[in-house]
Structure 1
Amino acid sequence: MADAPLPPPEPGSAADVVRTWDARADHYLQLFRHEWDGKPQDREALHAFAGRVGEGGRVYDAGCGPCGHVTALLAERGLDVLGIDVSPRCVELVGREQPGCRFTVMDQRETAGERLDGLVSYYSLHDQPKSGLPATLASWAAAVRPGGQLLIVAKEGTGDGVIDDPLGSDLRVYWAEFTEDELRAAAETAAFRVDACTVREAYEDEIPTRRIYLAATRDGARCPGE
């Protein structure tokens, strides 16, 4: 008698992120391989982050995806950067796409215990439920040394649930959006001091929602959650 099929993973769980990104990694790579060609504000935000960290600083690109263009840009700016992604297919593809950079399979929600000078989350938060944001930020704060830098780029909004893939695949995916106040509160609760938070309108070829850029410094006066 054949075994009963396994139930699908819980939406927004790590297993669900692996399922959806393993399935659409190739599609995403074709869409965003040359993303920097038309996004000057994103490049400027990453250059500023690299300047705050300083040459040789140890940094994670959390949720690097199959393109690795954030990892590559930060490496070009002199950082010791590792791209991490929970999707094995993303890491397989990005290793070919950016052979001069380093990548590994790792859940961005389980970085506590590292000793980093900074961490970048470039659209990596929208795959998980908004209820998981505090725990994710706490894990990042536990990984980044006091005085270290954080950069979050996220899509603005209130969405939080399973929808048709905005990237155009035939999948149903978990999709969360955030407000500036939500990101600020989560960062500050997790022992980061918010230094700047700006918003830009979507470019013509982007999903039509505004983008939030939050830059913060790990507070050395307290531990995460205090």
Structure 2
Amino acid sequence: MPDALSSMPEPGSAADVVRTWNARADRYLRLFRDELDGKPFDREMLRAFAGRVGEGGRVYDAGCGPCGHVTELLAVRGLDVLGIDLSPRCVALARQEKPGCRFAVMDQRDIAEERLDGLVSYYSLHDQPKRDLATTLTSWAAVLRPGGQLLIVAKEGTGDEVINDPLGGDLRVYWAEFTAYELRTAAGDAGFRVDDCTVREAYDDEIPTRRIHLAATRGAA
């Protein structure tokens, strides 16, 4: 009979994302339900993204989490947005929090939809190994139409390993951080034109790590 350790999914795999986020979704919601209220820079970046996409544009909020706040902000700005997440618990909570928005259980690394007008990744890259970054961005490029818009928000750093959950508790989670150079390079290699890459300092109530905001446009097929 396999022991608990041998039955654990591979760190950073899709199954591992489901395991960790099903376990932490309720706590995350309590901590971050209203996080955008105190992040004017983030709100402005999301609004600018919505403006570039244009009203009615079809957009995925990739790795929407349990709060649904990014999905809602984009919907209010006139986008046809779907929040997607691998964790069924995250999707269930997001539907409760934002009943006027749409959410679905889906792997952001394996999106079947084609010809989206935009995609947002708001802190959704941290759960997967950095070696998967190129594949993930290539898959996003495949579902965005030429001229489609991409917005990535990620924590700056060099971490790429299993650590104690930064949110507290006894959960072990995969945690990857990125440099602006890594994100710019991966986006360019995947067929995106990087339009802006801004690094901001952490707000007082955030984990003290700088944040990278990268805006890019899907090139011609």
TM-score between both structures, scaled by the size of structure 1:
0.95
Q: Aligned partner of 1:151: which letter? A: L
104-113 vs 58-67, greater mean Cα deviation: 104-113
Q: Aligned partner of 2:24: which letter? A: R
Task: Give the equivalent residue in structure 1 for 2:132.
Answer: 132
How big is the shift at 1:24? 0.3
Query: Which consecutive segments of 4 or more residues in structure 1 shift more than 6 A?
Result: none
Task: Give the equivalent residue in structure 2 for 1:4.
Answer: 2
Aligned in 2, Cα 1:79/1:211: closer, same or farther, shift over 3 Å? same
> Cα deviations across residues 57-108 of structure 1 (Å, max 9, x unaligned)?
0000000000000000000000000000000000011100000000000000
2 CA distance for matches of 1:113 and 1:139? Answer: 11
What secondary structure, in the 3-state scheme, does the structure 1 residue paired with 2:109 have?
helix
Task: Give the equivalent residue in structure 2 for 1:57.
Answer: 57
How big is the shift at 1:42? 0.3
Q: How many correspondences in the alignment?
A: 219
2 CA distance for matches of 1:71 and 1:155? Answer: 20
Task: Give the equivalent residue in structure 1 for 2:186.
Answer: 186
Identity of aligned residues (%): 78
What secondary structure, in the 3-state scheme, does the structure 2 residue paired with 1:55 have?
coil
How big is the shift at 1:4? 3.5
What secondary structure, in the 3-state scheme, does the structure 1 residue paired with 2:214 have?
strand
What secondary structure, in the 3-state scheme, does the structure 2 residue paired with 1:108 have?
coil
How big is the shift at 1:112? 5.0
Task: Give the equivalent residue in structure 2 for 1:111.
Answer: 111
Unmatched 5+ stretches in structure 2: none
Q: Aligned partner of 1:8: which letter? A: M
How big is the shift at 1:114? 2.0
Unmatched 5+ stretches in structure 1: none
> Cα deviations across residues 199-224 of structure 1 (Å, max 9, x unaligned)?
0000111011000000000001x4xx
RMSD: 1.0
Q: Aligned partner of 1:91: which letter? A: V
2 CA distance for matches of 1:51 and 1:91? Answer: 26
Task: Give the equivalent residue in structure 2 for 1:101.
Answer: 101
TM-score between both structures, scaled by the size of structure 2:
0.97
Kept in 2, the 8 Å contact 1:112–1:139? The answer is no
What secondary structure, in the 3-state scheme, does the structure 2 residue paired with 1:131 have?
helix
What secondary structure, in the 3-state scheme, does the structure 2 residue paired with 1:78 have?
coil
